[in-house]
Amino acid sequence: MSILSYLKQTWGQDPDNPELTRAQHKTLMRQVPLMYAVMLVNVATPAILFHGEAPFFLTGTVPMLIAAVFIYRAITLYRARDTEQTHAQILQGFRTITKVGVTMSIIMTCWALALFEYGDDLLKGQITAFVGITMLTAVTCLMPLRQVALIVFVAVALPTSVFLLLQRDQVFTGVAINMIIITSAMLLVLRRSHDDFRQRVEKQVELDNQKRELEHLNRAVLRAANEDNLTGLPNRRHFLEKLSEHLEKARTTQRHFAVGLVDLDGFKPVNDLMGYHVGDRLLAEVAARLRAVAPEHITVARIGGDEFGLIFPDADDDERLRKECRNILAALEPEFQLEEGTVAISGTCGIACCTGPDCHTAELFEHAGYALHYGKDSGESGTITIFSDYHERAIKDSAAIGKRLREADLAAVLQLEYQPIIESRSGRTLGMEALARWTDPVLGRVPPDVFIRTAEQTGMIGKVTLTLLGKALSEAAHWPEDNYLSFNLSAQDICSHETMTAIFAAIGRSNISPCRLVFEITESSVMQNFDRAVQSLETLKAAGCHLALDDFGTGYSSLSYVRRLPIDRVKVDASFLRGIEKDAVSLNLVKTISEMCENLNLQCILEGVETRTQADLLNDIGCTAYQGYLFARPMSPHTLAAWRHEYENQTRIAG
């Protein structure tokens, strides 16, 4: 390595280290103005002391020019102290500082040595001190630029020392030697100081990088903890935190807010029929639409599954709440274009308002959930239900029903009524549907849909089902062999291994052949756990039982379920028969369903037949089996025998 290369490597600027360069620049911006201030004092002192001893050119003109340069440079650097500069601009500034600093040090040294000739021994000593102070000031203040120290040593210290040695005075000779020794020591100290400075900068850079990485990691962890990874929306945890913040504000400001729960209508069939990967993409598309349409003040989060949460910060006006929610749900109305096909869904929303300081998270969620399910139970998709005093009373009534149901002797209080299913051509009775009834000593007669739903909510539906099935099997044993028993199973029944095992055991203990049993299930019941439901239904089918899909046409994807479920008959919901006497469209729709069942080798049973006109129209289009008030209302087992005898006589006479 050449001497020049060594000097450049050891004392030169390191342009490839931006962090070090920026740290040097920051330090210099603080020190260089101070250096110029010290230099101004240094210039003023010799000028004053030599005034009258040396020419005015040396005591007036030169000092003022030097001072003007110092003041200009100090002002320029002070103004630029907060200016953001690029790496290249900083390096250019270093070169300027180095040139100006070294040039001015040389000029001041030459000026001082020129004054040297005009002074006595005392003034000459002052000049020597001036040169030393000037050199120390320049080297110390420009220390971040290590090349300055070497240049000042070569350009100032060495010429000055030689000048003093030429004076052939022992005092100046000693000063010159001392200057060489001290300057050399300073070079070593300054180089080590610069190395320490660089190491501190590099260490700080390393710490800053680690800090940034840690902050990035913390942000990633926080994002993962608060963001749903599928949709990018806030997750349940973040939603609950936001809810807690609103609760705190509500307690202090008395401001009302609301919580909404949105459930997607028609999402489960997409998952079941098209696959979970399609369902995931659909959820992501839903989230994108909700995020795009929801105003900034409304929090939108994915709570779980196909359920989304909303927080409305202003809940003083129910109509405004409905409007805001309606606008959000409207974003789901356009069909979703996926690779696998077009998907149409909608959303149902339940809302609970916090109108006082006594609100709690669990209560708001419970009320919003109740309002949501109340809306879904209405049978209309896209409904918006705000929890009210009516729902509050319904919850209390449900709690009372649940309490009475838990305390009741089910075998004693649960009864069955039976409604016949009639063949259209012959008029003969095909079978009977068992319908649950409960009359409580305190509550009176409780509607079946109410206590069945309560039994599901309280986890008692299995006991209710088995109690009723036992009674139905016992009663059906006395019926004619060509009459079957039609019995309803709930979603929890067909998804419960324990209940299904007990059902098979009850069938085995009865005197009824499995082929005389028809188990009715609804589309909504199999949607909750499609795979588990199909497994249970296939087991019933293998045992010889028959299966019917009840309330056909009221679900979201009935035709798909007809194809995938092991059913052998379809019960068309009574809503299809309303107005059939005057509405040709309804009649044609029923005809289409009947023909579809015939093509699929499925028995088609029309529910809700109430008039002879309806029956005649249905006969004309080829329907074969009916159930409704035209033939008989649900009746007790004691009334059933008498009805059967009278009906068969009427049928025989009419035939």
Q: Which two tokens stand for residue 326?
A: 């309606």
Are 138 and 149 within 8 A, CB to CB?
no
- Taking alpha carbons only, the member of 633, 486, 628 closest to residue 569 is 486
Strand, helix or coil for residue 118: coil
Q: How far apart are CA 558 and CA 538, in angstroms?
A: 18
Angle at CA of residue 145, ends 141 and 147, nearest 5°: 115
Angstrom distance (rounded) from CA 187 to CA 302? 67
440, 358, 458, 428: which is closest to 404 by C-alpha? 440
Angstrom distance (rounded) from CA 33 to CA 28: 8
CA dihedral 596, 600, 603, 609 (to 10 degrees): -10
Burial class (CB in 10 A: 0-12, 13-18, 19+), 372: buried
Cα separation values, 53 from 37, 50, 121, 128, 420, Å: 26, 5, 13, 17, 137
Q: What is the pLDDT of residue 4?
A: 45
Integer Cα distance of 479 and 421 in angstroms: 14
Which of 447, 439, 453 is closest to 408 using CA atoms? 439
CA distance 155 to 144: 19
What are the two backbone dihedrals, phi and then psi, of residue 259, each rounded to the nearest 5 degrees? Answer: -115, 130
The phi and psi torsions of 218 (rounded to 5 degrees) equal: -65, -40
Q: Please enumerate, as own/partner, the contacts of 86-89 that have beta carbons within 8 Å and a separation of 24 or more.
A: 87/18, 87/21, 87/22
Q: How far is CA 458 from the centre of its chain?
A: 32
Rounded Cα–Cα distance for residues 471 and 18 (Å): 88
Helices (H), 419-551: 448-458, 461-476, 491-495, 497-509, 523-527, 530-542
> What pLDDT score was predicted for residue 11?
44
Give the pLDDT of residue 14.
58
3-class state of residue 382 by DSSP: coil
In this structure, the dihedral spanned by the alpha carbons of residues 38, 42, 45 and 48, taken in order and rounded to 10 degrees, is -110
Task: For tokens 């959000």, name the residue.
Answer: 328
Angle at 581 between CA 576 and CA 582, to 5 degrees: 100
This prediction's pTM:
0.59
Q: Which residues contact 205 (CB under 8 A, 6 or more apart)?
A: 19
Please tell me the total number of residues recorded for the chain in this structure: 655
Question: Given strand 307-312, what is the order of strands in its sheet?
Answer: 299-304, 307-312, 257-265, 346-354, 384-386
Reference 496, options 539, 547, 454; nearest CA is 539
The H-assigned helical ranges of 355-496 are: 361-377, 389-407, 410-413, 448-458, 461-476, 491-495
d(CA 142, CA 30): 11
Predicted confidence at residue 558, as pLDDT, reads: 54
Bridging pattern class, strands 484-488 and 444-446:
unpaired
Residue 635 DSSP class = B
pLDDT of amino acid 120? 81
CB-based contact 569:541 (threshold 8 Å): no
572 within 8 A of 552, measured Cβ to Cβ: yes
Count of CB atoms situated within 10 Å of the CB of 371: 25
3-class secondary-structure state, position 124: helix
393/388 Cα distance (integer angstroms):
9
Q: What is the pLDDT of residue 377?
A: 76
Please, what are the domains in the chain?
Answer: 3-209 (no CATH), 236-387 (3.30.70.270)
- Burial profile 509-533: b = 16 or more Cβ within 10 angstroms, e = fewer: ebebebebbbbbbbbbbbbebbebb
- Burial-class residue 485 by CB neighbours within 10 Å (0-12, 13-18, 19+): buried
- Residue 602, both tokens: 């499925």
Neighbouring residues of 488: CB distance < 8 A, sequence distance ≥ 6: 433, 434, 436, 519, 520, 521, 550
Return averaged pLDDT per consecutive 10 residues of the chain, 655 residues in all: 46 62 77 80 84 87 88 81 77 80 81 83 80 76 72 76 80 80 77 75 78 77 76 89 87 85 86 80 92 91 91 87 92 87 88 84 89 80 87 86 90 94 89 94 89 89 95 94 94 91 94 94 78 90 94 65 84 87 87 90 93 91 91 92 82 61
